[in-house]
Homo-oligomer: A and B are copies of this chain.
Amino acid sequence: MKNAVGREIPEEILKATGKEVFHGVHYYDGYEYQKDGPKTRCVVNSDGSKLVKTIHEALVKCEIRDGMTIGFHHHFRDGDLVVNMVMEEIHKMGIKNITICASSLGKAHAGLVPYMEDGTITGIQSSGVRGEIGKAISEGKLKGLAVMRSHGGRVRAIETGEVHLDIAFIGAPTCDDYGNCRGIGGKADCGVLSYAMVDADYADRVVAITDCLVPFPNFPTHISMTKVDYVVVVDAIGDPKKIATGAAKPTKDMRKLMMADYCTRFVTSTPYFKDGFSYQTGVGGASIASTISLAKIMKERGIRMRFGVGGLTKPMCDLLDNNQVDVLLDTQDFDLDAVESVKDIRHFRISAGEYADPFNKGAVVNKLDFVILAALEVDVNFNCNVVVGSDGVITGAQGGHPDTAAGAKCTIVLTPLLQGRIPAICTEVTTVTTPGESVDVVITEYGVAVNPLRKDLLEAVKNSGLPLKTIEELRDLAYRIAGEPEKVEFGERIVGIIESRDGTIMDVVRQIKPFQFKEEKKVLPESVHK
């Protein structure tokens, strides 16, 4: 059955998942459902400690068994030690058929591939699956379907009960013996625990893992003791060097600087750019450069930002230091400056639900004026792909991309015309992750394309001097330079789904074909898209 972005979703997948096809970004507005609730074990006694000696003991007390679903967060990013540590113990215990439901997985988790191969892990649900795990899924090594969700979509899936977490493990930079967790302090300081909050709310059993036990009460708590069953102290939960990087150096890449310049000019030409506006941006070089140049114009024009939101980096925190923004709302800290900035009293932590969940009574993304995003591919319908590489291998993460795009009044996607030698603007993206109806503007170093649905924005920028193009013109230009890309050839088996933030199916991901020499493919074939 074809969905609202024109993707064919096979009946077998609809049947297997019990899901609908994607109907459009606002299809579920006003939808009513009953929230799930965890099975909770009451602690009425006054013994006063939840410490257990080992992860093994915690697993036993949580009654680990085959087929369970385990929650993890990704605030330690490439420095995460928790997922591997827990899965190693589960593997040792001979438990099979585990589904990992993580807010994201990445390079740190290559060690899980053997557990996929031996049936310890048969399900993976995550925002993204970068690195070896993505490759393994694309190669068909996971028995079950991988589910790729946005940050908001993960909260939705858990609170609707579509996914029920049997046990959640929460790596806590500091924790007391009764389970009050904070994202700040300790050896693995990650600043915030936003993505783990929904796990604490909805998992039947919650285990806090820390390498820095502090006296009770560890306040202000980010995750309350009222939701934590057990506390385990280990030597290390994260590698500090890989949790948050030093601030990115301002880019010198001319293409990125051009995109940043176009972006800033676009933003400042719209009616949303006025005192009290709100803003989110990413971690790419162009995004960062654009934030820096935007700050200058804000100063010149005496315009102040009301709030900045999202995964944060130094340039956003600089706005706070320079008193150009009232407050920051933080879900993740990408660099050490952001981790440090969390201590500012105007820099607030929010949960992933508050940030981006489409199934609560209104998330922060709904209040966004601007979001600046990147993409691996954008097609002529403004659909974006941020998960599957042009080679067909899962390599990225939905993150908050579809959430912020849906919420923001002006969604701007920055992408170079070519990613390496492959056109980033194309006729049809390999996989749709963010629907074109949410994407208002695409900015490349060769020109700026406004979504024709946004006549108001086109009108606003028509005299800006920006190199306005149609998205087809950008695509044609890309194809002229690099040639029309050959369509990736997938196998038949569907290895994963791209879930829309509302739980419907945006697209499917198929197994990649084993590599083979194809002499005849050296000549570009006729496009299959015409």
A residues lining the B interface (CB < 8 Å) = 25-26, 28-48, 50, 159, 178-179, 206, 215-217, 219-220, 224-229, 276, 306-307, 327, 329, 345, 348, 353-354, 357-364, 366-368, 406-409, 502
Q: Which of B39, B226, B306 touches A362 (beta carbons < 8 Å)? A: B226
User: In the bound complex, how far is the Cα of B348 from the Cα of A220, in angstroms?
Assistant: 7
**Smallest Cβ distance from A111 to chain B, in angstroms?**
31
**Chain B residues, Cβ within 8 Å of A408:** 46
Whether A46 touches B306, Cβ cut-off 8 Å, given contacts A37-B35, A40-B33, A41-B31, is no
User: CA A363 – CA B217 in complex, angstroms?
Assistant: 11
For A33, list chain B residues within 8 Å (CB). 39-40, 42
Residues of B within 8 A of A45 (CB): 26, 29, 366
A360, B40: Cβ atoms closer than 8 Å: yes
With A48-B366, A366-B48 in contact, do A40 and B219 touch (Cβ < 8 Å)?
A: no
Are the CB atoms of A42 and B359 closer together than 8 Å? yes
- A38 in contact with B41 given A226-B361, A361-B229 (CB within 8 Å): no
The 4 nearest A-B residue pairs measured at CB:
A35-B37, A226-B360, A43-B362, A29-B44
Which residue of chain B has the shortest Cβ distance to A355 in the bound complex? B226
What are 10 A-B pairs at a CB distance below 8 A? Answer: A25-B44, A28-B44, A34-B38, A40-B159, A42-B360, A43-B360, A44-B366, A46-B367, A178-B366, A226-B361
Q: Which residues of B contact A31 (CB under 8 A)?
A: 41-42
Q: Contact: A29 with B48, CB < 8 Å?
A: no
Q: Is there an interface contact between B217 and A362, defined as CB atoms closer than 8 Å? A: no
Chain B residues in 8 Å Cβ range of A38: 34-35
Residues in B whose Cβ lies below 8 Å from that of A26: 44-45
Q: Smallest distance from the beta carbon of A98 to chain B beta carbons, Å?
A: 22
Chain B, Cβ-Cβ closest to A47: B366
Q: What is the CB-to-nearest-CB distance from A287 to chain B, in angstroms, rounded to a whole number?
A: 21
CB-CB under 8 A for A362 and B276, given A25-B44, A48-B367, A367-B216: no
What residues of chain B lie closer than 8 Å to A32, measured between beta carbons?
Answer: 39-42
Nearest-CB residue, chain B, relative to A349: B220
Chain B hits for A367, CB < 8 A: 46, 48, 178, 216-217
Q: In this complex, what residue of B is CB-closest to A32? A: B41
Q: Roughly how many angstroms separate A32 CA and B367 CA in the complex, as a whole number?
A: 39
Contact at A227–B361, with CB atoms within 8 Å? yes
A48 to B25, CA, bound (A): 16
B361-A40 in contact (CB<8A): yes
Question: In the complex the two chains form, is A46's CB within 8 Å of B357's CB?
Answer: no
